[in-house]
Structure 1
Amino acid sequence: MVRPGLRIAVFGAGYIGLVTGACLAELGHRVVVRDIDPEKVRLLRSGDVPIYEPGLGDMIARNKERLTFTLDVQETLNGAEVVYVCVDTPPSASGDADLSRVWSVVRSLEAASHLRAVVVKSTVPVGTGARVRAALDAAGLGHVGYAANPEFTAEGRAVEDFLHPDRVVIGADDDATAALISELHTGVDGPVVVMDVRSAEMAKLASNALLATKISFINEIATLCEKTGADVEDVARAVGMDHRLGHHFLRPGIGWGGSCFPKDSEALRQLASNTGYHLQMLSAVIEVNNLQKRRAIQRLKDELGTLAGARVALLGMTFKPGTDDMREAPSTVLAGRLLAEGAEVRCWDPMARPAEAEPWTWTTRHESPRSAVEGADAAILVTDWPQLKEVDWAQAASVMRRPVFFDGRNLLDPAVMRSLGFTYISVGRP
């Protein structure tokens, strides 16, 4: 049984590491989170959370007696019984996951004979656990258990998803390790599903790939609706009422982004390629998503005639509302394509933190949606922030040079927007 106040070491203070560390501290464990970024650790020690995630800052503050942050590996491992690996695994030049940070953590454990288990929460290719297991054995840590515990949290509700999950997946090849990690989650309101390590690794990739498939599917149906005069909103509502299918992820738009769907879909496709198998359906899912953003630009070109010299406002920059995450955000592709067409790009977002790199160095940031659209020839609603429902769109239309509006998330009412003078375009709606 897990004792109250078990000492846990978390490697990585990104979205997953911070949420994991804070939630485990909330469950009563003593947690040390280690990161290699001195500025990030400094901010966390001062009580300033460097990412936006609802409820996370309050949870970290509430558990400050059980939650500490460090740059030092030995401080992290001192007395630790369980290590969580929550580091990035970005795509490499070959398309495979770059596991260099995972291996750096594994190598740092060679003298930590007091450990009871190593848990990988990072998204890794199927078969990674077997390689880590072999490395631990070679380092004389054969007595240390190994588990895969993939995360299924969504940004914007990650704390809620950790504490009240649909399921906790634990992949372990021995009963003692499975029981240990299961007990660590005592207090979590959700079922625990135990399986072998390889199946747990695959479950993460398959889950995200299926969700991405639903989004790309409804986007393809939206395109067909545009060509036939059907309304994708009505179609999606009717389809989602089927209990076998459900409404989740049947919302058309300009495509998915973020840290998981693009990376995990590509990782699964690359995994299949490495075995000599071509995942035809998943390849099509990725292609549809890539085309969806470019279709938005083409529809603006069709309306304006040319984008050269046009002023275009991007309303929303993050890949979804409720987060400041810009990773694989559709706005990046839209901004890049607009600039390539010769347009002037203006942006608004309440939380985005874009990199100081192209395309963002060539755009202007505005404090409000109204300021962003003033004098613009067109606006694209990219992220469905709730603030955009409260905008005085009649006034916005009056200050635009040409009131062309592409609603990339079908957030607003077509009839109302057209009555206000907009040339209103949406996804899959007549």
Structure 2
Amino acid sequence: MNILVIGTGYVGTTTALVLAEMGWNVTGLDTDVGKIERLRQGLPHFYEPGVEPMLRKQLDSGRLRFTAHTREAIEAADTIFICVGTPPLPDGSADLRYIKQVAEDIGRNLNAYKLVVIKSTVPVGTQRRVAEWVGAAQTEPKQFDVVSNPEFLREGKALYDALHPDRIIIGADTVSAGQRMKNMYHSMDCPILVTTPKTAELIKYAANSFLATKISYINELSRLCDKLGINVKEVAQGIGLDPRIGTSFLQAGIGYGGSCFPKDVASLLHTAHEHGSELKLLEEVVAVNRTQYMHLLEKARARLGDFSGKKVALLGLAFKPDTDDIRESIAIRIAERLVDERAYVAAHDPAAVLPAELCASVAQCSSVEQAMQDAHAVFLCTEWDEYLSIDWAAVKHSMHQPNIFDGRNVLDAGKLTTMGFFYQGVGYR
């Protein structure tokens, strides 16, 4: 089977790598020639553990190639994966312009039967629209099927998740299209659920929205824990032992970010409003997440008085560890707020870089030690392993004031307090 993956971003590149690892012949297509050239050289354009060695392996195997030639790539493919972005619009809805463009490209160049697979995260009903766009763009009628096959990848663990999925969701209108997809995934050892396209599309949004709900639930509970003098980590441990609840996504902190949860929750809310339905619980999930980081800032203000003229070390810029993705990162919101309050902010991250709009007002340091030199306070915003092994005894003497505000509740509070640090976490005194 010859598979074409259109879009070589985070999802597209990972999808192409895994399909090649499964033994299929895979071509990655992108209009960005510079990106294609880097991928041909075995150089991914984003940070994700394991991707670069897997990329080199599959290029060497001959099962993976990259191209910028749309017509030739579409004509040569049996199955076409759509993996382009669906960024949020101001009203929370998903921008489908790139999906539509790809669908029309497929229609114009359809020379034989193709199975079109939507891997991008799209609103309910998009599979039908893609089928209409492909059909309308054809110069002469050719048969094709469009199925929904949402991805469930965690940034920082995307390659592992793609190689070891916990489930595969296939939304197909026809039995034959569903069976083709099952045959393609025959080597995967996990449940495969074949359902309608609309159901598959909703499953993706519902899954991410539920996980976001767990995060906002424990974060809102952490505010009460602060007032009651209770350690929210112990509360999370206690309720997480209930198998009906589980421990995943019950780590209190400064909130969720990234390219998926904020966008997907907003899109699901927009879909509900479009159909005259209210999802009040999800609306509150968003509200909690929007304000959660401010509570840690309030703790810091209570300790420091204010931020004006004070140096704050910001550890972590990425929205989570093991990625360089700063989209909707809470660390960036904190940096912006600190700058607004006239603090001198020194940031460090092992992989992520500051957005252009903050480069003039925030210093990006090459080492943790440099960021913490003469600092009045440290904000830990991303739980990179590097930050868990800091020599706190050494850096304490270089700080102006030994104050630590742990936005992820990952540091050893007792040890740091014994060493003379003032420590505060989230829902943790």
TM range (shorter): over 0.9
Q: Relative to structure 1, is the Cα distance of residues 142 and 354 closer, same or farther in structure 2, using a 3 angstrom cutoff?
A: farther
Instruction: Name the counterpart of 1:15.
Output: 10
Query: Is the 8 Å Cα contact of residues 307 and 338 (structure 1) preserved in structure 2?
Result: yes
Give the match's secondary structure for 2:4.
Answer: strand
Which residue of structure 2 aligns with residue 112 of structure 1?
A: 110
Tell me the distance in 1 between the aligned counterparts of 2:65 and 2:118. Answer: 20
Give the conservation status (yes or no) of the 8 Å contact 2:111–2:142. Answer: no
Report the counterpart of residue 279 of structure 1 in structure 2.
279
Structure 2 counterpart of 1:325: 325
Gaps of 5+ in 2: none
How far the C-alpha of 1:331 sits from its partner, in A, is 1.0
Structure 1: gaps (5+ residues): 1-5
Aligned equivalents of 2:309 and 2:266: distance in 1?
A: 36
Deviations 1:293-344 (A, max 9, x none): 2222222112111111111010011111111111111111011000011111
**TM-score (normalised: structure 1):** 0.96
Distance in 1 (alpha carbons) for counterparts of 2:420 and 2:34: 48
Partner of 2:77: 80
Structure 1 residue 142: deviation in Å?
6.2
8 Å Cα contact 1:257-1:328 kept in structure 2: yes
Matched with 1:49 is 44
Question: 5 Å matches for 1:123-272?
Answer: 123-138=121-136, 139=138, 143-272=143-272
**In 2, Cα distance between the equivalents of 1:332 and 1:153?**
23
CA distance in 1: counterparts of 2:98 and 2:234, whole angstroms: 46
1:373-422 CA-to-partner distances (Å, cap 9, x unmatched) read 11011110000011112111112121111111100111111111111111
Distance 2:39 2:354 in 1: 21
Identity %: 40
Partner of 2:63: 66
Q: Distance in 2 between matches of 1:115 and 1:411?
A: 53
> Secondary structure of the equivalent of 1:218?
helix
User: Aligned match of 1:35 in 14, 30, 39?
Assistant: 30
Partner of 1:194, secondary structure, is strand
Helix, strand or coil: the match of 2:244?
coil
Worse-superposed segment, 14-23 or 69-78: 69-78
- 1:8 alignment partner, SS class: strand
Please give the secondary structure, in 2, of the residue aligned with 1:245.
coil
Q: Distance in 2 between matches of 1:192 and 1:206?
A: 18
The answer to whether the aligner puts 1:100 opposite 2:102 as a matched pair is no
How far off its partner does 1:185 sit?
A: 1.1
In 1, the alpha carbon distance for the partners of 2:110 and 2:382 equals 45
Are the aligned partners of 1:27 and 1:186 in contact in 2 as well (CA < 8 Å)? no
Please say if 1:397 is aligned against 2:396. Answer: yes
Structure 1 counterpart of 2:298: 298
Distance 1:395 1:374 in 2: 11
* Equivalent residue letter for 2:409: N
Judge conservation of contact 1:10–1:32 (CA < 8 Å) in 2: yes
Give the Cα separation in 2 of the matches to 1:329 and 1:142: 44
Superposed displacement of residue 38, structure 1: 2.2
Deviation at 1:44, TM superposition (A): 0.7
Contact 2:99/2:130 (<8 A) preserved:
no
- Per-residue deviation at 1:93? 3.0
User: CA offsets, 1:191-227, max 9 Å, x none?
Assistant: 1111000000000000000000000000111111110
The size of the alignment, in residue pairs, is: 424
Judged with a 3 Å threshold, the aligned counterparts in structure 2 of structure 1 residues 360 and 288 are, in CA distance, closer, same or farther, namely farther
Tell me if the contact between 2:146 and 2:172 (Cα under 8 Å) persists in the aligned partners: yes
Distance in 1 separating the partners of 2:149 and 2:334: 35
